[in-house]
Amino acid sequence: MDTFVIQGRKPLTGEIEARGAKNAAFPLLAATILTTEDCVISNLPLIEDVYRSIEILQSMGATIEWLGERTVRVNTKDLNPATLNRDLMLKLRGSVLFAGPLLARFGKVFMPQPGGDAIGARSINTHTDALSQLGVVSTPSAAGVEMVFPGQLKGQEVVLGEFSVTGTENLLLFASVFAGPITIKIADQDYQVQELMHVLSAMGVALITPQPHTIVIKGKGELHGFTHTLMYDPIEAGTLLVLGAAVGGNVTVKNVEIRFLDLFLKKLRDSNVLFEILRDENGMGDIRVFPSPHMKIEKIQSWTYPGVASDLQSCLGVLATQTPGPTLLHDPLYEGRLKYLEELVKMGADIEFLDPHRALIKGPVKLHGADLVTPDLRGGAALIIAALIAEGTSTISNIYQVDRGYEKIEERLQKLGADITRVMS
């Protein structure tokens, strides 16, 4: 497996762009199943999880044509779910989103337990429970779950058992072919969900949000194809902003989806991170981060939208090692999300683990290079930041996890002046 070798304490300066939103790409690719017409998606990030999603579609007979470096045309007219590659489904969490559209179109699907990050218990029970409220019958087995829709809606209201991004998206995808109206309560409304709603509207679906976390959907039997430019990734942008603050350079992050980072940016400002919004056009722009000698973070708590995303907690944890502590770190969503902290301890971080969801980070400390193992996608990005601010040389293994979500990150960081090299296995 490839590794990163990083020599820390190098000054970073310059511009770096956020790429297309990884987690918003999955539901759009899944939405192509709902129509027999062509669908064109541009601004796709060139990452492993997107490639796997496209390969899953191809395994069922979808026609895929790359129209440019980041633009793909998908046609699922001849789709055959019987040929679905189950091994590919096991490689990424986003594969669960194929359940909704396959049920809507074919009435039956077998879903193996989807893969992805090892950040805690992430069963698909929320999905099966929600779909059952509309009449879908799920039969679990050791290999996965068989889902069958008899053809008649049982109800027209669903109450999700928890705020679930993918659970909300699966319901939207499934409900899009029914005249409805179908009401989804306790719906997540993060950027991925909003992006999917834009696309479904373009396909002919009527959607309204009468109150927070409630979506009413009126679909129809035959949906149009769509042409859509994928939004930029607010999680990647947030990660790069924290990187700029941690290394103390002068870094400009371009293509920042500011509209989805309101609380995150407030937390940075409250923590005395110095930054300037250079451009803000309808909630999307560029932000420059300056050296910030008086940073102090009292508490980092992640939560569902519009809270600070759990996906940004890891990089903020690294930043906390460089500020006067203690800093309370609390991730109530995933009990495995704090595994990266064990790797920071190898680098000299002073961390007290309170329970699987909470830790105290006592800083500031000088991190030193170490041999590190990437625990998950976001933890891998955090370790890269830690290695860039550490004294000496660090090696990071299991970087496939990073490649799943960050496009050619080493090449982009090299342009800022980072001493980071990919060593091929």
Q: Please, what CATH class does the domain formed by 3-19+232-423 belong to?
A: alpha beta
pLDDT digits (tens, 9 = 90+) for 13-67: 999 999 999 999 999 999 999 999 999 999 999 999 999 999 999 999 999 999 9
pLDDT category of residue 288 using cuts at 50, 70 and 90: very high
Residues 326 and 360 sit within 8 Å (Cβ to Cβ):
yes
Residue that wins the pLDDT comparison between 117 and 296: 296
pLDDT digits (tens, 9 = 90+) for 144-161: 899 999 998 998 999 999
Residues 265 and 274 sit within 8 Å (Cβ to Cβ):
no
How much is the pLDDT for 123? 66
Has domain 22-229 been given CATH number 3.40.50.300? no
117 carries an active-site annotation = yes
pLDDT digits (tens, 9 = 90+) for 333-384: 878 889 999 999 999 999 999 999 999 999 999 999 999 999 999 999 999 9
Question: Dihedral through CA 402, CA 403, CA 405, CA 411, nearest 10?
Answer: 100
pLDDT above 90 coverage of the chain, percent? 89
Catalytic residue among 117, 286, 331, 376: 117
Give the mean pLDDT of the chain.
95
What amino acid occupies position 264? F
How much is the pLDDT for 334? 79
How much is the pLDDT for 115? 54
Distances (CA, A) of 354 to 141, 224, 335, 361, 381: 36, 51, 12, 11, 23
- Could you give the residue range(s) of every CATH 3.65.10.10 domain in the chain? 3-19+232-423, 22-229
Question: Dihedral through CA 130, CA 135, CA 140, CA 144, nearest 10?
Answer: -70
How much is the pLDDT for 118? 47
Whole-angstrom distance, CA of residue 196 vs CA of residue 72? 17
pTM of the model: 0.95
Whole-angstrom distance, CA of residue 389 vs CA of residue 10? 8
pLDDT category of residue 114 using cuts at 50, 70 and 90: low
